[in-house]
Amino acid sequence: MKYFYTFPILLIFFNLASCAKILAIWPSNGYSLFILGQGLMTELARRGHEVSVVSQFEPNEKIKNYETIKLPKTGGYNDSDDLINWPTYNLFSLQKLSLDIGLRYAEALFEKKIIKELIDSNRTFDLVIVDNYCNEAHMAFAEHFKAPLIVFSSQPVSDINYHFIGNLKLPSISPLALTPNDNQMNFYERLRNSLVSVYDFVYKDLVYYPAQQALVDKYFPNKMDLKKIVTNTEIMLLFSHPLTTGPSLTTSAVAEVGGFQIVSKKLPNDIQRILDGAEHGAVLVSLGTNIQCTSLSKEQFNMFINAFRKFRQRFLWKCSVEIPNKPDNVYLFKWMPQTDILAHNNTIAFVTHSGLLSTTEAIHFGVPMICIPVFGDQIQNSIRVQKKGIGERLSFLDLTENDLYEAIKKVITNPSYKEKMQRVSKMFRDQPSKPLDRAIHAVEYVLKYKPGPLLRSPALSLWWFQLYMLDVLLFIFVSVVLLYLFISLVLRKLFISKKQNKRKTA
């Protein structure tokens, strides 16, 4: 009897020992990115870890072990008019613009009083997870709290994150995130990608990284080498999958977890009735969180409405504008549960900005897309969708009512889109483990083992010219040239000597 409580006490002690204090930095003012952070951190909290999330957003319900370090609205880049005109910029300007935006976001976080208090606090953490988009300075929280670092990226391996884990980046098959290319490029596209890649490398080395280092020097009490911090990343979690972002070269320190946020729930009663009653099918319409329908001009807005009214299908549009004489087949909502609508059997198409979350969810549920990309990775995502034959792609700036009507009509009447999407969807869902389980395993693996250099790519210890064998190629070239010159010199001397001997004998 005296041993009756021994096992429960040991079990409780084991759980306490295996639970960790995790700090998550999720600074973006985009709610869609917070959805990913909330999904990951909520699951970690559910499994007993104590999570503290730096974010502008809070979960809709109280979660045990989940603390929000609430940020006021973070400054940065959130002008929808500029976003709409994004396609008019050249690629060099876009690359610089995105890096400059990242710098402004990074500094905006440090300027918040609550962050200064966090830095000056005596709190301790066992792990730091940073949501990354051109904010390397935020990774210094890991070194400041003497904790391992995990980087989360809502992108695949790209110019934004490849250097954290020593991934190879070949301009021939690795398009920059903002270019209108996938990983199969023709000669002109490879040339353009190479030129912009060189510009990106030089600008980062001379301007961007020193500016990120300056933020670390300014806001943290101890001097830290940011380059060393970012290359000490233990594992990088990527919201990617070969069928959503394309095949890529990744190291052993990468875990692809695209789609981990997808969970179907019960629909609200009003939306359930609309979808159940859609005998000809329903089309979901959403241009994302950054481009609201209020961002559209009156002509653009009417273009959408007039195209939708020509169909028998029902259109569910995330839009907060009230419309007099609204078509009976158009339903407007300030907010919609996108995932749950895509999961409904009567949803037959998705008019989307082709953000990666939306693209991933559409592929998961097998819903063909009409892509209207506006900025960022949306353009690249839409190109992949079109090449796979699982949707159509339109230009936002040149969009006409007829273009929109014809694209929707083509997708919902041509069975090939549905058939190809169903095949891709089955392949996407056929995975040996759930993406969320892989993400949690990666986090707990780092907590348990702190693998450090054991999983780190040897590329991190090489200069760029060593990594791409330029020094070896130069050595071979010089050796061949010297050997050629040496042999030429020897043969020339032999020829001259032989010629002189003939003259003497003559």
* Residues 208-234: tens digit of each pLDDT: 999 999 999 999 999 999 999 999 999
**Dihedral pair phi/psi, residue 391, rounded to 5°:** 175, 175
| pLDDT at residue 279 greater than cutoff 70 | yes
What is the Cα 178 distance to its own chain's centre? 11
d(CA 176, CA 376): 11
Q: How confident is the model at residue 16 (pLDDT cuts 50, 70, 90)?
A: very low
CA angle (225 as vertex; 221, 230 as ends), nearest 5: 115
Mean per-residue pLDDT of the chain: 89
CA 190-193-197 angle, to 5 degrees, is 135
Rg (CA), the chain: 28
| Confidence at residue 499, expressed as pLDDT on a 0 to 100 scale | 67
Domains 15-260+434-461 and 269-429 share a fold: yes
Cα distance between residue 265 and residue 344, in whole Å: 11
Using alpha carbons only, what angle is made at residue 182 by residues 181 and 188, rounded to the nearest 5 degrees?
Answer: 45
Confidence of residue 396 (pLDDT cuts 50, 70, 90): confident
User: How far apart, in whole angstroms, are the C-alpha atoms of residue 75 and residue 105?
Assistant: 6
> Span 353-361, mean pLDDT?
94
Measured over the CA atoms of residue 157, residue 163, residue 164 and residue 165, the dihedral's sign is: positive
Query: Mean pLDDT lowest for which of 6-15, 307-316, 436-445?
Result: 6-15
- Average of per-residue pLDDT across 115-125: 96
The whole-angstrom separation of Cα 384 and Cα 179 is 12
pTM of the model: 0.88
pLDDT of residue 504: 63
C-alpha torsion 22→461→251→170, nearest 10: 130
Does the structural domain 15-260+434-461 have CATH classification 3.40.50? yes
- Fold classification of 269-429 is Rossmann fold (3.40.50)
Look at residue 60 in the predicted model and tell me its pLDDT: 82
Q: What percent of the chain has pLDDT over 90?
A: 64
- Residue 229 near residue 142, CB atoms below 8 Å: yes
Q: What is the 3-state secondary structure (H, E, C) of 132-196?
A: CCCCHHHHHHHHHCCCCEEEEECCCCCCCCHHHCCCCCCCCCCCCCCCCCCCCCCHHHHHHHHHH
Distance of alpha carbon 255 from alpha carbon 246, whole angstroms: 15
Q: Look at residue 20 and tell me whether its pLDDT is greater than 90.
A: yes
Rounded mean pLDDT, 437-458: 92
**Per-residue pLDDT, 3:** 43
Say if CB 23 and CB 37 are below 8 A apart. no
Domain edges within the chain: 15-260+434-461, 269-429, 473-505
CA 494, 498, 504, 505 dihedral sign is positive
- Mean pLDDT within 294-323: 88
Please give the pLDDT value at position 212.
Answer: 97
pLDDT digits (tens, 9 = 90+) for 67-81: 999 998 754 444 445
**Whether residue 301 has pLDDT greater than 80:** yes
% of the chain exceeding 70 in pLDDT: 92
Q: Give the chain's end-to-end CA distance (angstroms, integer).
A: 120
pLDDT band at 293 (very low <50, low <70, confident <90, very high): confident
Quote the tokens at residue 167: 């991934």
Mean pLDDT, residues 97-116 taken together = 92
For the record, the structure tokens of 243 come out as: 């069928």
Say what the pLDDT of residue 441 is. 96
- Is pLDDT at 83 greater than 70 in this prediction? no
Q: What is the average pLDDT across 407-435?
A: 96
- Please, which residues have CB within 8 angstroms of residue 391's CB and are 6 or more apart in sequence? 362, 368, 369, 370, 371, 382, 385, 411, 417, 421
Using 50, 70 and 90 to split pLDDT, how confident is the model at 11?
very low
* Rounded alpha-carbon distances, angstroms, from residue 302 to 128, 297, 314, 482: 47, 9, 17, 72
Question: Is 400 a residue whose pLDDT tops 50?
Answer: yes
DSSP 3-state of 85: coil
The arithmetic mean of pLDDT across residues 334-349, rounded, is: 94
**Residue 71 · residue 54 · CB < 8 Å:** yes
